[in-house]
Structure 1
């Protein structure tokens, strides 16, 4: 940990605003939910923010999480293509078309690769995803950690350091109140939580009218981004409930 904080300091009141790092987020939806409650929240991603913001850091979350004494680390959209059940089929038989998480150079090389080379690269991407999940899940100096991911396959579970089953599964519509609103979607999301409570539903919807547009998104270069986009009702619940739990922890300490 650094001796001096790069980030604005607050007074030592027992209910001081929280220092919150939202990892792997371009949209700023979760970051803005925390900041809207008066906290000191920052997003970071390898890519620039979708909207201009002085609260976004371009960089690897693993570097940024070591830059300060964060109260909460929430890694909401880590690259999960190789870890989730939907991608496990490509670990035995390589995909004909380039897989989703290739670099531009790898994408160009993919059609000329042998099956063995494609499989080796796919497994390499799996190991990279496992390393990221392991690093953020096991960070020691941040007391409260949340990591979001879809349902994982066994190869990922076997490789993650200190793996444990997810604490909770939620759907965006659990936190929605408007059938026509952005939260009325079906997208099963698993949450791995350390020292944070499971989320209580805040919505009034029952799921019968929930859309499936996330899974039915048309193939495109930006399909991965649209499928990982976060939901405002869920983000607000995280800020309210996890923020409240963290401040209660401050008082107890």
Structure 2
């Protein structure tokens, strides 16, 4: 299959799909961490989606203002009223611009002329849902520990032309509050810092290996209605 991994610099998803013999490329505004020659530095909206892909997996599109946790920065009571508080050093216009960017990237990828699409994104807030294409399904919510990764991080997948991911190597959960449980929550307990956003958004290898096996294995199967 010809596979495009969008909005990824780590190469984790690209390598998982490549290991199965697929023709895989990644793209992002930033260079690839592994310096792969299979990575294109570009805006995913600038034509690359029209180059005959069989599957598009968008890993980390700008979603901070689309998710439910970011709703409080976008509006006060009701819709599009002045927020009670804004992040330090940011303006409401900044929030709106980031919101519009997130909407643009998501909708461009979702409506791309590609038969199979998977977009990683949290469950959206009401403001974002109002701007989404009609018929957008609810995301499938999965956890890394379903795929052999000792970690908690609810991950949403919006799927078109693909079946939901099936768990592969589910790990038993640690006791709540134990040291192991705290280690599993490392993503959520990560201290502030310049790399916090990038590190928190990294893909989990086990999940990407499962996605590569399951989604490319459906290449000859009828597409879901």
- Shared fold by TM > 0.5? yes
Which stretches in structure 1 are left out of the alignment for 5+ residues?
1-17, 99-109, 111-117, 177-182
- Three-state SS of the structure 2 residue aligned to 1:230 is coil
Deviations 1:183-224 (A, max 9, x none): 211111111111101011001303335511111111111111
Cα distance, 1:167 vs structure 2: 4.1
Distance in 2, Cα, partners of 1:47 & 1:94: 31
Match of 1:199 among 148, 165, 169: 165
Distance in 2, Cα, partners of 1:239 & 1:41: 11
Cα distance, 1:72 vs structure 2: 0.0
Higher relative helix content: 1
Distance in 2, Cα, partners of 1:79 & 1:64: 18
Rg comparison, structure with higher value = 1
Distance in 1, Cα, partners of 2:16 & 2:34: 15
- Three-state SS of the structure 1 residue aligned to 2:219 is helix
Distance in 2, Cα, partners of 1:213 & 1:60: 31
TM-score by length of 2: 0.87
Pairs within 5 Å for 1:148-159: 148-159=120-131
Contact 1:43 1:56 in 2 (8 A): yes
Q: Does 1:43 align with 2:9?
A: no
Which stretches in structure 2 are left out of the alignment for 5+ residues?
75-82, 175-179
Distance in 2, Cα, partners of 1:46 & 1:215: 26
Match of 1:119 among 76, 79, 92: 92
Contact 2:141 2:155 in 1 (8 A): yes
Q: In the alignment, which residue of structure 2 is the partner of 1:189?
A: 155
Match of 2:69 among 72, 83, 86: 86
Q: In the alignment, which residue of structure 2 is the partner of 1:97?
A: 88
Contact 1:170 1:188 in 2 (8 A): yes
Distance in 1, Cα, partners of 2:135 & 2:191: 33
Distance in 2, Cα, partners of 1:158 & 1:128: 15
Q: In the alignment, which residue of structure 1 is the partner of 2:138?
A: 166
Contact 2:10 2:33 in 1 (8 A): yes
Pairs within 5 Å for 1:44-59: 44-59=27-42
Match of 1:218 among 174, 179, 191: 191
The size of the alignment, in residue pairs, is 208
Contact 2:49 2:109 in 1 (8 A): no
Pairs within 5 Å for 1:13-52: 18-52=1-35
Cα distance, 1:64 vs structure 2: 4.8
Contact 1:62 1:135 in 2 (8 A): yes
Deviations 1:123-170 (A, max 9, x none): 22112111111110111x210001111121111111122352324110
- Three-state SS of the structure 2 residue aligned to 1:245 is coil
TM-score by length of 1: 0.78
- How big is the alpha-carbon RMSD for the aligned residues of Structure 1 and Structure 2? 1.7
Q: In the alignment, which residue of structure 2 is the partner of 1:248?
A: 221
